[in-house]
Structure 1
Amino acid sequence: MGIVGLGRIGQDLAKRLEPFKVRIADSGPNPEPLPYTYYPNVTELAEDCDVLFLACPATPETNQMINAKVLEALGPDAYLINIARGSVVDESALSFICAAT
């Protein structure tokens, strides 16, 4: 399970996933002192997970952060779950990837 944004909501999500004994990894601007695998790059996180949760804020830095490169790294059999703002995902890239599969 990958979580982009380990703020309050991302940490609450991680705590709810822990009882399922899944490996949890995260990506964000700064590594948090938590027992999860940290990826400084969201593309690398996407390559290493089957489910990618978006729990990051909508900022200029996160605008369309989930682009074609990240979606390709995630792969066609993985899941993208956006509990963040819609602006985090490049919808044209998502439409293109979905149409190609």
Structure 2
Amino acid sequence: MPSAGKITEFLQPGGFGVRMDTASYAGYVIPPYYDSMIAKLIVHGKNREEAVATAKRALDEFQISGIDTTIPFHQNILLNNAFLSNDYNTNFLAEQDIMK
């Protein structure tokens, strides 16, 4: 789960197919009463496989220190076979052990 605290490092990904929406930065203090979305990563590609690859690269490049984030959770989803084969539904998180 994300956490309140001071962001000590904030290096966002970039490049073709990557867009970041954020107002966060190194030194920013997230109060305990915050909206938990401190950044939104948006990726695209010419097809689903390319978009997934771009998302993997972007999440690997994204460096945030000082707080906990959901980056590892999203990285695990992008490695999940059911997700990669486009075989998922609204029970996906309950059915899969994403955080192994």
**TM-score scaled to structure 1, two decimals?**
0.29
Which structure dedicates a bigger proportion of its chain to helix? 1
Highest relative contact order (Cα 8 Å, sep 6+), 1 or 2? 2
Q: Which one has a bigger Cα radius of gyration?
A: 2
**TM-score scaled to structure 2, two decimals?**
0.29
